[in-house]
Amino acid sequence: MAYNEFLADRVRGSLKDNKTTFEEKKMFGGICFLVDEKMCLGVIKDDLMVRLDPEIQDKVIEEKGCRIMDFTKRPMKGYLYVDQEGVDMDDDLDRWVKRCLEFNPKAKSSKKKKN
């Protein structure tokens, strides 16, 4: 198991509950959920990976189970990991999903690669 399938199913359910159209793409050895062709959130191993407004990052980093995403060994502004403790309850997961969805319209798309 490269990523937590149960957590991925919970994310799918939360996105559907929020009436969000999304795509799934395997990335980073896990799965990412794209909204409007932009990475919104994902599951890497047992962690939820969230993309949110960098302006609130310093505030929410204090929440349980939350830490800076350092996938490349360098902190990535606006990206955080949330471990199982931070998404154990459905309300906790839904709060993270909503934060990601709120930021998504402002998020920049990655540049498309030319074939």
Residue 79: give its domain's CATH number: 3.90.1150.30
Residue 76 banded pLDDT, cuts 50, 70, 90: confident
What distances in angstroms separate CA 39 from CA 89, 101, 103, one per listed residue? 23, 10, 11
Instruction: Give domain status of residue 97, yes or no.
Output: yes
**Residue 60 belongs to domain spanning:** 5-105
Residues 16-73 pLDDT 10s: 999 999 999 998 789 999 999 999 999 999 999 999 999 999 999 999 999 998 867 7
Instruction: Give domain status of residue 91, yes or no.
Output: yes
CA 64 to chain CA mean position, Å: 16
Amino acid at 50: V
- Give the predicted TM-score (pTM) of the model: 0.90
Q: Give the span between the Cα atoms of 86 and 77, in whole angstroms.
A: 19
Residue 109: what pLDDT? Answer: 82
Instruction: Give domain status of residue 87, yes or no.
Output: yes
